[in-house]
Amino acid sequence: MKAYKDMTREELFAEKEKLEAMYQDYKGQNLALNMSRGKPSASQLDLSKGMMDVLKSDSNLTCEDGTDCRNYGVLDGIPEAKRLLAGMIGAKPEQVIVYGNSSLNVMYDSVARCMYEGVLGGKPWALQGKVKFLCPVPGYDRHFGITEHFGVEMINVPMTPDGPDMDMVEKLVSEDPLVKGIWCVPKYTNPQGYVYSDETVRRFANLKPAAEDFRIFWDNAYCIHHLYNGEPAQILNILDECEKAGNPDMVYEFVSTSKVVFPGSGMAALAASTANVASIKKQMAVQTIGHDKVNQLRHVRFFGDNEGMEAHMKKHADLIRPKFEALISIMEEDLGGLDIAEWTNPKGGYFIGFDSMPGCAKEIVAKMKEAGVILTGAGATFPYHIDPQDRNIRLAPTFPTIDELKLASRVFTVCVRLVSAEKLLA
């Protein structure tokens, strides 16, 4: 297809008229579709139905160290659950604290603790002035929501296919003692599906922060969420790399089983150095007597071990890979060669990152909504919801059925072409 910028005004006008008719046709169909939610579909949830059968009223609810999981106690998680979560990220079980049902909650808690109690006995961030976080963009809206909530100033750092712009990260971290943290999703980034290169991970581990209470918030949410469309991605173990670099305490790593089993009913964990774990447990002991050990036991009995979990993830991949492939092939078919958009082709995670021509994303999302297809709000992938170029859109193909997704994708490509043609004609 001819690139829009190479079309004459007349050609482009004719294209716009054709697209307008297609758009009106979709609008007349009273669609109610949704490509905004990074949620598993109902058939993915069905894969974990057996979770409901592994514990019964006559089950032995004693864990391997003899603890009766029905009662109070065990602050940092039962040993077999620690092992399972550690295995997901290649950590050692003693580096892991098992929390409750959500890693986002652990991240919120971690920022709150740093703000109000400080890091390893240091002065609370909240008493140090206007503290700052680096935010690789586009990124995960809920990360930015946490730091915004605590009044932390957020600084955009551009993302590349190998991870954040590390020259910028190193400069800002080493020069400004008010830079206290950075949000990272190292594997299958939300929303692009990028994977941090070994060099990026090593540069993170070797940072020389001006603030001794600087922490990397390493959200390994998609560590085992491969699409199995080629070799699964591998990343270096940040805890090991930080230790090798003489910075063992610089990272908090987060993980959960949300999108492995039932989101909202999974288990979450934080992994960190011995000093961090000891200090966090002291604070946690005030907060809780212990998290849900019955749920921890249920997970372990369901999966057995990390191999069992990997086999389960392959079943997820079989269900969602065709959806990623369908959306990408429709974009290639309808938008390829027009030179009006770019998108990623991930090997894992839950999203595809899409960039329109500058100044078009809001209008595309609005047009989609008018036609009955909900997308994640334009700007959501940036701190303060401000996409400086108004071009990034996060696409989430997992939740709709394949037929719904194909239809929504066709409406999307029509909206992208229509808005782009209108922009070029304006």
Residue 133 is a binding residue for ligand PLP (CB under 6 A): no
Residue 185 is a binding residue for ligand PLP (CB under 6 A): yes
Residue 194 is a binding residue for ligand PLP (CB under 6 A): no
Question: Among the candidate windows 201-209, 210-218, 236-244, 256-264, which touches ligand PLP by CB under 6 A?
Answer: 256-264
- Which tokens in the block code for residue 72? 């109070």
Residue 397 is a binding residue for ligand PLP (CB under 6 A): no
Residue 15 is a binding residue for ligand PLP (CB under 6 A): no
Element (H, E) at 411: helix 402-425
Residue 190 is a binding residue for ligand PLP (CB under 6 A): yes
CA separation for the pair 415, 419 (Å, rounded): 6
Among 48, 103, 200, 392, binds ligand PLP (CB under 6 A): 103
Q: What are phi and psi of 66, to 5 degrees?
A: 95, 0
CA separation for the pair 52, 279 (Å, rounded): 35
DSSP letter, residue 226: B
Residue 38 is a binding residue for ligand PLP (CB under 6 A): yes
Question: Among the candidate windows 101-109, 229-237, 284-292, 413-421, which touches ligand PLP by CB under 6 A?
Answer: 101-109
Helical residues (DSSP H) of 234-360, grouped into ranges: 238-244, 274-287, 293-303, 306-335
Residue 268 is a binding residue for ligand PLP (CB under 6 A): yes
Question: Among the candidate windows 97-105, 123-131, 229-237, 393-401, which touches ligand PLP by CB under 6 A?
Answer: 97-105
Among 34, 59, 67, 102, binds ligand PLP (CB under 6 A): 102
Q: Is 34 helix (H, G, I), strand (E, B) or coil?
A: strand
What minimum distance in Å lies between the beta carbon of 191 and ligand PLP? 9
Find residue 181's DSSP bridge partners.
133, 215
Q: Is the dihedral of CA 173, 174, 175, 179 positive or negative?
A: positive
Residue 420 is a binding residue for ligand PLP (CB under 6 A): no
- Which tokens in the block code for residue 389? 């170029």
Residues belonging to the chain: 426
What minimum distance in Å lies between the beta carbon of 193 and ligand PLP? 11
Residue 76 is a binding residue for ligand PLP (CB under 6 A): no
CA separation for the pair 322, 39 (Å, rounded): 16
DSSP letter, residue 389: T
Residue 34 is a binding residue for ligand PLP (CB under 6 A): no
Q: Are strands 392-395 and 352-356 parallel, antiparallel or unpaired?
A: antiparallel
Among 124, 145, 177, 263, binds ligand PLP (CB under 6 A): 263
Q: Is the dihedral of CA 26, 325, 333, 351 positive or negative?
A: positive
Among 219, 241, 249, 363, binds ligand PLP (CB under 6 A): 219
Question: Among the candidate windows 227-235, 255-263, 297-305, 397-405, which touches ligand PLP by CB under 6 A?
Answer: 255-263
Report the interface residues with ligand PLP, using CB under 6 A: 38, 102-104, 140, 185, 190, 219, 221, 256, 258, 263, 268
